[in-house]
Structure 1
Amino acid sequence: MASESGAPGGDAAGAGAPLTERGARTRERLLTAAREVFEERGFLDTRVAHITRHAKVAYGSFYTYFPSKEAVFLEVADRLFADMTQHDLVPLEGPSPAARVRRANRAYYEAYRRNAKMMAIIEQVSTFNVEFQEMRRKHRAVAVSRSAKAIRRWQAAGLAPADIDPEMASRALAAMVDHSLYLWLVQGEEPDDRLLDTLDTLSIRALGLDP
């Protein structure tokens, strides 16, 4: 399928130029519209014309702010991942390590639920867009690194077993929670609130923490 990879007649006009206040507002309108259209149509069936029509912006104006449909999708996804990963899997502060894990899992669940429609589109794009895959890996690496740091502190304090690899544990737990919520909130498996309690319990036991 053909990619809408650039403005008609050449490169994006004004790419990299400072935006006026009006220009910044227009760019935000395009980003908001792009997300809504992607959620409605999916990535492959979305066209720049759909986005500009939804944003009530002239078609040619799109290329003042973004060089392609792929570029606006990457920024929408980048913002989504920032929202999804702002909470550590294992936060440093809280009444107890187990309570911190529960709090982080619930915060991630709420973020995933807010973004479930876009997460479905993201899974689609992640199968073929290398640039997007790299951006996604970077966000996950930041979250895993923060969580691994907390696990190391717990190990140093004697709260978690010393034989657990902090980075591998963080990756494994993130994958478990992420995929479970994907199957529940995106694939539409039978909803059951017990899933959240089970994810908490498995995470806490995997880290050898007192419940």
Structure 2
Amino acid sequence: MTGAQGQDAAGSDDAMAAKAPRTARGRKTLRALLDAAALEFGERGFHDASISAITRRAGVALGSFYTYFDSKDAVFRALVTDLSAQVRDHVAPAIQAADDGIAAERAGLAQFIGFVRRHKEIYRIIDEAEFVDAESFRRHYASTAERIEARLTAAAARGEVRGDVSDVHAWAIMGMNVFLGLRYGVWDEDRGVDDVADSAASLLRDGLAPRGREGGDGGR
């Protein structure tokens, strides 16, 4: 499901690290290439996309592409890493400002859907990654689930959610978020972001209520 680590978006990929720009101009060019690649892959898909089209969209010379990437596959891998980091960095402030664990998940979902509405191409790119670069695809979802699990574990330690939360709960929440983002971010915007996030938070609050409180006030 870019902003690369909140900065220019080189990602953690080894090949990218070797070609990381050292100047402000270089970082600006790299950012332009990644943004152009997102549009190109999002509109045309991996197989129909071309390096020349990416550089035209970015407004840079074809040769500049090879300063940062060895191939179309390389820019695609970097883009998946970049998009994942961009989502992470976009939702982080709202999550950190939330009052409790459930509020944090609600805030994260609301920010995610808002991001998707502005970057609908993310779903096509991430979905194609399963077939173009399976490791990037798996890493995108695994790292997202790990962050959710860490938040749930911290919330459990504070007594805000049930104490037996695990990776299963994290993957279930992520799966819900992915499909809510698809339905209300990509396919249609017929519901407000807050309405969707509130409904999901209610479901989580009841389902993750600390033991002994289920069936009562739902942990509210």
Alignment TM-score, normalising by the size of structure 1: 0.74
Name the Cα RMSD after superposition. Answer: 2.9
Cα displacement (A) at 1:129: 2.1
Distance 1:114 1:69, change over 3 A: same
Cα displacement (A) at 1:94: 3.5
Counterpart of 1:207 in structure 2 is 208
Distance 1:148 1:197, change over 3 A: closer
Q: Structure 2: where are the runs of 5+ without partners? A: 1-14, 210-217
Distance across 2 between alignment mates of 1:71 and 1:110: 28
Quick check: 1:34–1:72 contact (8 Å CA) kept in 2?
yes
Cα displacement (A) at 1:128: 4.2
The correspondence of residues 24-103 of structure 1 with structure 2, limited to 5 A, is: 24-86=27-89, 87=91, 91=95, 94-103=98-107
Query: Which string of whole-angstrom CA distances, capped at 9 and with x for unpartnered residues, describes residues 130-189 of structure 1?
Result: 2322331443244233223223313xx3x4333x33332122112112222213323x25
Distance across 2 between alignment mates of 1:22 and 1:96: 41
Distance across 1 between alignment mates of 2:43 and 2:117: 16
Distance 1:94 1:189, change over 3 A: closer
Distance 1:95 1:104, change over 3 A: same
1:177 correspondence with 2:177: yes
Quick check: 2:42–2:125 contact (8 Å CA) kept in 1?
yes
More helix by percentage: 2
Distance 1:115 1:143, change over 3 A: farther
Aligned residues: 192
Distance across 1 between alignment mates of 2:104 and 2:37: 35
Q: Structure 1: where are the runs of 5+ without partners? A: 1-11
Cα displacement (A) at 1:48: 0.4
Counterpart of 1:161 in structure 2 is 162
Larger Cα-atom Rg: 1
